A = this chain, B = another copy of it.
Amino acid sequence: MVSAITSRKNYPSKKVMLIRKEKKAIVPCGIPYVFDRLKSVDENIMSDQPLLDNEVDLIIEEVEEIKADERFILLKNGDEIVYEKLILALGSKADIIPIPGADKKGIWLVKKDYDYLKALRESVLKSKKVAIVGGGFIGVEFAEELSRIKELEVSIIEKADHCLNTNFDEEFSQKVEERLKKSGVKIITGKTIKMIGGDEKVEYLEFEDQEKMPVDLIIFSIGAKPNIELAKKSGIEISKEGSIITDEYLRTNLSDIFAVGDCSQSKDFIMDKNISIMLASVAANEGRIAASNLYHLELLKENKGTLGVFSTSICGLTLGVAGLTESRAKEQKIDYITGESEVVNRHPGVLPGAEKIKTKLIFSKSCENLLLGGEVMGPESAGEILNIIALAIQKKASVFDFNTWQIATHPLLTPPPTAYHLIAAAQSALMKINKVKTVE
């Protein structure tokens, strides 16, 4: 959708067509909320109005193959569509662990499919004990939403030591687990599932340590794999990790064919390696870049590397992370320094609505003290604080930039000007840097 609309805006003289197999498109990030907050899957439909408003032609059909040499697309219904430029936004599909019993009834994935989600919702509402396998973003969001359903027992099973382990440092993920537990979610970490038992329908889970756990519905949220079948059979180059290979303008190896979103890989913003981050915001950004560079490359719109910027809201706690965490920095042997702060989003702190905001920033120790990453946790505004961190990383802000950064503070909106979260965190890093200097 972003590619289509941006194409129209950038090249108003061109005809733009969107081919999609689904009659109704789902808002992907909204899926966890169809169970309670949205009350139905129908409330989570992405409107086609923006397409109509921007005069994008919409075709509901599946693509059979891309004939790149002859520049046309073959649809399943036999129709052929010629193109000048083609953007592939093939998405990804939910993964499952290939363990015995994984084909039983009552085992579900998180699919972006209207009918499937309707059936999943009905099934969940009829269940008593639901297990969510995988404690990443989707897993914890599902767990919170399902914990709102009366008399439903909800468990998360995560093989790592903590939920959200890949994305957050421990002090942040622990808080999420605390909140989930308070909401009645059972959290099982550090355990691996061996098999799923039951007759036709799932009845229990069995862990590697022989422990059994009764369940009547399992949702797998262990990750996703790029949809590359169409690209592969059409001669588009695929990486050994299984994503479409693109350059910084999102161009594939075939001329005039671009690939964006979950189906394509990208270069990491901070380190020189390829990564595959499957996020709607990354996809939207790639869609904008590809659509801006369709007919002529504009240097300013290249993709400078993908930065992982993730936010979520669990039981009223907002969490966000951009770029490197401390544990990732350690793992990658990066010379870093951290800055931390814990302040209240009101001043004086007794004003109504006061909540703590915790931030942690990671600066490079050797490279001009540039910001490499940040984590934030607190009230709803933490979602936008995270986007400040994301902008600062992308505009190459250093710890010194934070020291002279001019901001607005307000009693009902932010911490006081004397202790604004990100500046306070940067100053705590600066103290360490100055101490290092003095010692030298």
Residues of A near any B CB (own CB < 8 A): 1-2, 5-6, 9-10, 27, 29-30, 32-33, 37-38, 43-46, 50, 269, 279-285, 288-289, 292, 298, 300-304, 306-307, 309-313, 318, 320, 322, 347-348, 350-353, 379-381, 383-388, 390-392, 394-398, 400-401, 403-414, 416-418, 420, 423, 427, 430-431, 434
Is B310 within 8 A of A408, CB to CB? yes
Beyond A29-B347, A400-B301, A427-B9, whether A394 also contacts B406 by CB under 8 A is yes
A380–B413 touching, CB < 8 Å:
yes
**Contact assessment for B413 and A348 in the assembled complex, using a CB-CB cutoff below 8 Å:** no
A322 to chain B: which residues have CB within 8 Å? 408
CB-CB under 8 A from A430, the residues of chain B are 9
**Shortest Cβ gap from A369 to chain B (Å):** 9
Given contacts A30-B411, A304-B404, 4 further A-B pairs with CB under 8 A are: A27-B348, A33-B411, A309-B408, A384-B388
Known: A303-B404, A304-B404. A37 touches B351 (CB 8 A): yes
* A435 to B, closest residue via Cβ: B12
Chain B positions within 8 Å of A9 at CB level: 427, 430-431, 434
Give chain B nearest CB distance to A392 CB in angstroms.
Answer: 6
Which of B301, B310, B380, B388 interacts with A388 by CB under 8 Å? B388
- The CA of A9 and the CA of B419, in the complex, are separated in Å by 14
**In whole angstroms, what is the CA distance A274 to B282 when docked?**
42
Whether A282 pairs with B406 at a CB distance below 8 angstroms is yes
Residue on B nearest A44 in the bound complex, by CB: B348
- The complex places the Cα of A289 from the Cα of B391 at a distance, in Å, of 23
A439 CB to nearest B CB, Å: 12
Q: Is the CB of B388 within 8 A of A406?
A: no
Q: Which residues of B contact A350 (CB under 8 A)?
A: 38, 43
User: Given A38-B350, A388-B388, A408-B383, is A403 in contact with B301 using a C-beta cutoff of 8 Å?
Assistant: yes
> If the complex has contacts A30-B347, A350-B43, A380-B380, are A405 and B394 also in contact, measured as CB distance less than 8 A?
yes
Are the CB atoms of B401 and A387 closer together than 8 Å? no
Are A406 and B285 within 8 A (Cβ)? yes
Cβ of B44 and Cβ of A410 under 8 Å apart? no
Scoring A32, A292, A298 by chain B CB atoms within 10 A of each residue's CB, the highest score goes to A292
Q: Which residues of chain B are near A44, meaning CB under 8 Å?
A: 348
Query: Does the CB pair B408–A351 fall under 8 Å?
Result: no
Jot down 15 A-B pairs with beta carbons below 8 A, ordered by A: A29-B409, A32-B411, A43-B350, A281-B406, A284-B409, A284-B420, A303-B404, A311-B414, A313-B412, A384-B384, A384-B387, A387-B388, A390-B405, A391-B391, A391-B395
From B292, B396, B407, A390 is in contact (CB under 8 Å) with B407
A281, A303, A388: residue with the most chain B Cβ atoms closer than 10 Å: A281
Residues of chain B within 8 A (CB-CB) of A388 are 384, 387-388, 391
- Beta-carbon nearest neighbor of A314 in chain B: B412
